[in-house]
Amino acid sequence: MNGIRTSAVARLSVAAITACFLGAGSSLAVAAPLLSPAAEQAGDWEDTKKWDGGLTVTVSKPTTFTPGAYSIGHESGNQAVKWRIKVHNGTDEAFQGALMSVYVKSGSDGDTCEQIFDGDLGAGIAGSVSPGSSGAAYFAFDVPQKQLNKIDLEVRPDFDQDGKHWVGQVK
What pLDDT sits at residue 15? 37
pLDDT digits (tens, 9 = 90+) for 62-85: 999 999 999 999 999 999 999 999
Assess contact for 111 and 88: CB atoms under 8 A. Answer: no
Determine the distance from the C-alpha atom of residue 79 to the mean position of all C-alpha atoms in its chain, rounded to a whole number.
Answer: 18
Asked if the model's pLDDT at residue 109 lies above 90, the reply is yes
What pLDDT sits at residue 171? 87
